[in-house]
Amino acid sequence: MPELPEVETVRRTLEAKITGRKITGVTVNQAASIKSPTAADLIARVRGMRFSTVRRRGKYLLIDLSSGDTMVVHLRMTGRLVYTPAEEPLPKHTHVIFHLDDGRELRFTDQRRFGCIWVMREDETGSLSGLCSLGPEPLGDDFTRKKLAQSLLGKKTKIKAFLLDQRNIAGIGNIYADEILFAGGIHPERPAGSLSASEINRLFTSIKDILHFAVEQRGTSFSDYVDGVGEKGSHQNYLKVYGRGGEPCFRCGTAISVTRVGGRSSHFCSHCQV
DNA sequence: ACAATATCCTGCGAGC
DNA sequence: TGCTCGCAGGATATTG
């Protein structure tokens, strides 16, 4: 599942490959993947343009074009954006293909069809719903201990649901929420506003440390995720709780619990997380 | 105002 | 063997 570390890895790998490449044409196999404008309008609008900067905000990729447009891509759960030689066979669920001037293609594939693409003027991206309401970037300088404490203040929602809400912090999904709460020793069902000062400190440090380490490991390839050149990450080898239901906690040996919190599966140690 | 649930979609494993 | 069912989950819409 692409979360911040995975999307950041896609951003880095794609930027190195597609910057300066010209789009010679676009094939749309699944028009529903394109949210705006229509598929026909998008094809006409990006043909002949070159990719410039590849940016990221939360789990959104923003790829600037030489025309002043920006292509916004959200991979959701099984989406992939991969730079591939044109002669390679098309994988199943290839919904959109950007043909490039170097004999390669940028392919958008998505088994579950939740991922989507928008093209709009760069100065209009700020009004895209979802993108415009994102909380701070957790690895950026503007995400501070103080800001985290303020956003937790008075919240009755469970801390797991708080972490998953992109309006609070941008980029955390189900895997990293569980890993962050384990690292911080905080039970996922604790009301967000009930955390003590020292727990907030631990949560803040865990958010930074876990996400930073996962980016270093080029993301978690638990099921579908690959980066912008089709390679898996290695962070799945370091998961402490996610996907480890029933297995012994690495810290205390207690079997890892799996329950549903905020409608999502949650993995935690009932002894280490209080 | 906030919180829990349904929705979208496909593949896979469990159970019969 | 082949069916059904539940589950996986990001974001949004809807219901409570």
User: Tens digit of pLDDT for each residue in A5-61?
Assistant: 999 999 999 999 999 999 999 999 999 999 999 999 999 999 999 999 999 999 999
DSSP states along A220-269: --SSS---TTS---SGGGG-SSTT-TTSBPTTT-PBPEEEEETTEEEEE-
**pLDDT confidence of residue A262:** 81
Q: Is pLDDT at A212 greater than 90 in this prediction?
A: yes
> Which residue has its C-alpha nearest to nucleotide C9's C1'?
A77
Q: Is the CB of A263 under 7 A from strand B?
A: yes
Share above pLDDT 90 across residues of chain A, in percent, rounded to a whole number:
89
Give the nearest nucleotide to A58, CA to C1'.
C10
Establish whether A202 is a catalytic residue. no
pLDDT, residue A73, reads: 96
Assess whether A33 (CB) lies less than 7 A from strand C: no
Dist CA A116 CA A35 (whole Å): 6
| pLDDT at A1 (0 to 100) | 80
Q: Which nucleotides of B are covered by protein (CB under 7 A)?
A: 2-11
pLDDT mean over A190-199: 93
Q: What is the pLDDT of residue A126?
A: 87
Q: Is residue A103 scored above 90 in pLDDT? A: yes
Distance in Å from B4's C1' to A98's CA comes to 40
Alpha-carbon distance of A18 to A73, in angstroms, equals: 15
Q: What does DSSP assign to residue A31?
A: G
The 10s digit of each residue's pLDDT in A63-101 is 999 999 999 999 999 999 999 999 999 999 999 999 999
Q: Is the minimum distance from the CB of A113 to strand B below 7 Å?
A: yes
Residue A196 has pLDDT above 90, yes or no: yes
- Give the mean pLDDT of A164-193: 94
Please give residues of chain A from 119 to 178 whose alpha-adjacent beta carbon (CB) lies under 7 Å from any atom of strand B.
155-158, 161
What is the distance in angstroms measured between the alpha-carbon CA of A64 and the sugar C1' of C16?
42
DSSP SS3 for A76: coil
State yes or no: pLDDT of A127 exceeds 90.
no
Mean pLDDT, residues A243-260 taken together: 93
User: Can you give the distance from the CA of residue A195 to the C1' of nucleotide C8 in angstroms?
Assistant: 30
Estimate in Å the CA A231 to C1' C3 gap, whole number: 36
Residue type, A158: K
Residue A2 annotated as catalytic:
yes
pLDDT at A222 over 90: no
pLDDT at residue A71, as a whole number? 96
Mean pLDDT of chain A: 94
Please state whether strand B lies within 7 Å of residue A93 at its CB atom: yes
Q: CA(A58)–C1'(C4) in Å?
A: 38
- Please tell me which residue in A21, A59, A80, A160 is annotated as part of the active site: A59
| Residue A215 burial (CB count, 10 A) | 19
Task: Give yes or no for CB of A1 within 7 Å of strand C.
Answer: yes
What's the token pair of residue A237? Answer: 């080898």
